[in-house]
Structure 1
């Protein structure tokens, strides 16, 4: 079955200084016709490299449908046997999601890979497609997954990390998204790149007033960036989920501009309220 994907919408950041502003790619669900991934999966991080298979066991691939014949793709991150975190804009207008866990090469049949269907999709109640903050959502799986070497939940931040900006920390972003904004073919294998967390002030010099405290940004130096198809995926620092990929510059890593993420520490209460994860347990 062929899946014809919707065209993404580009938004422009609001200027806060005389510095030139960079156009952003926000609703960056992958926009290109591909075969259905839950039957014959496909899809990279711009500037990255192939991951060791199953070295990021929390990473999931999400195929999303507007209708039985129209769909799109995003990343996601497993937080429990029943729930996946992703970006709220990924599930906008979506009626069903297919979640692939434990995969590395989406073109191949892998005995580690497991498919689940969404039972429920919940975006943050204050999310709007016209407003950048609160770009976070939960997907409840139709059936619990069994944890294996290839399928493991990510650690959430501790409550004591709520005021931690993670600035200058080195994190890892991963996904099956495009490696090149112009030639936007997606990788069949999971890719990753290490990036440095920067201050929101530095990020505002590029993206303007859309950058708020509930977001975190990473440097685009060395062309390291999220790109088409990576949104909803994880930014992980020392094994802890710090961000959910939300937006990046038009051109991905070409301009060496930052990538923007939803800051997970700003949503620990929301995650606990709407899932089976008890975030206080992260203090232990």
Structure 2
């Protein structure tokens, strides 16, 4: 009994250190911290019509976001030096069927992108040019880019077909709310510098996991971040997930999208 109490207090301390809500139900959760998105719910594509699935060899590989009728935003590590035969499924709540599947014709990766030992990325963003334009509708919509980063503690929505607490390849699109963590606290959690082109968000036992990379982090219907990856994935308590900051890279997105669309 005493040892169990110590464990619960330790977990609570991790959450409090990041000013995150820790409720009794969370403290009583059991199981490994890896591959968990506790609190995530099945979400119809009509609710997140800008969400897409990047597919390789007919299977879901990463998430992505509709920027325009012919441009998709995703994470650079999802496409950098990978199989060039990438397709995008749009307009479906499931990753294996429905909607439309369109081939990617060209890829632009940020020229400052770096992957550090598969544990940390910087400027982790890429744009994909589709081989044919999307047909917009209730299940296929572009998302506007945010003009400012949400305030610390703001509830932001992350979504995708990544690992859950029970599945490695979930069929249905899921989403969950997490909270913005300021850059200083995020840096302390990782004991490393957090560059300006990234933002952090976390909530104990909730968040993006394997397979959600490249997907959207949104606030009030606008895109604020792109899922990157690192030790904080899968809701690891005390380790926020690091996202590529769309607000900071807004100019790059707009300029490169114009170049790519005219190619």
Query: Offset at 1:266?
Result: 1.3
Counterparts in 2 of 1:210-229, with a 5 A limit?
A: 210-221=193-204, 223-229=205-211
Q: 2:77 aligns with which of 85, 89, 99?
A: 89
**Is the radius of gyration larger for structure 1 or structure 2?**
2
User: Are 1:63 and 2:55 matched, yes or no?
Assistant: yes
- The count of aligned residue pairs is 221
Change (3 A) 1:200 1:157: same
Q: Distance in 2 between matches of 1:45 and 1:241?
A: 24
Distance (Å, rounded) in 1 between the aligned partners of 2:250 and 2:107 = 18
Q: Would the aligned equivalents of 1:100 and 1:114 in 2 still touch at CA under 8 Å?
A: yes
Q: 2:108 aligns with which of 98, 122, 131?
A: 122
What are the residue-to-residue correspondences of 1:18-167 with 2, within 5 Å? 46-47=37-38, 48-64=40-56, 73-94=61-82, 95-107=84-96, 109-110=97-98, 113-130=99-116, 132-158=121-147, 161=148, 164=149, 166-167=151-152
Aligned residue in 1 for 2:170: 187
The 4+ residue runs of structure 1 with deviation greater than 3 A are none
CA-based RMSD of the aligned residues comes to 2.4
For residue 230 of structure 1, what is the aligned residue in structure 2? 212
Following superposition, the deviation at residue 89 of structure 1 comes to 0.7
Instruction: Give how far 1:167 is off.
Output: 2.0
Q: Give yes or no for contact 2:210–2:233 (8 Å, CA) kept in 1.
A: no
Counterparts of 1:153 and 1:251 in 2: how far apart (Å)?
A: 26
CA gap of 1:261–1:58, structure 2 versus 1, over 3 A, is same
Aligned partner of residue 205 in structure 1, secondary structure: helix
Aligned to 2:13: none
What is the DSSP-based 3-state SS (H/G/I as helix, E as strand, rest coil) of the residue aligned with 1:99? strand
CA distance in 2: counterparts of 1:191 and 1:212, whole angstroms: 29
Deviation at 1:75, TM superposition (A): 0.4
TM-score by length of 1: 0.72
1:266 aligns with 2:248: yes
Q: Residues of 1 paired with 2:153 and 2:233: CA distance?
A: 24
Deviations 1:81-107, CA, capped at 9 Å, x for gaps: 010000011111121211000010234
1:45 Cα shift?
7.5
Counterpart in 2 of 1:169?
A: 154
Is 2:191 the counterpart of 1:199? no
- Provide Cα deviations, 1:33-69, integer angstroms capped at 9, x if missing partner: xxxxxxxxxxx9712111134210000000136xxx9
The unaligned stretches of length 5 or more in structure 2 are 1-16, 18-34
The CA distance in 2 between the partners of 1:184 and 1:210, in whole Å, is: 33
Give CA deviations for 1:112-135 in whole Å, capped at 9, x if unaligned.
x01111110111011122362110
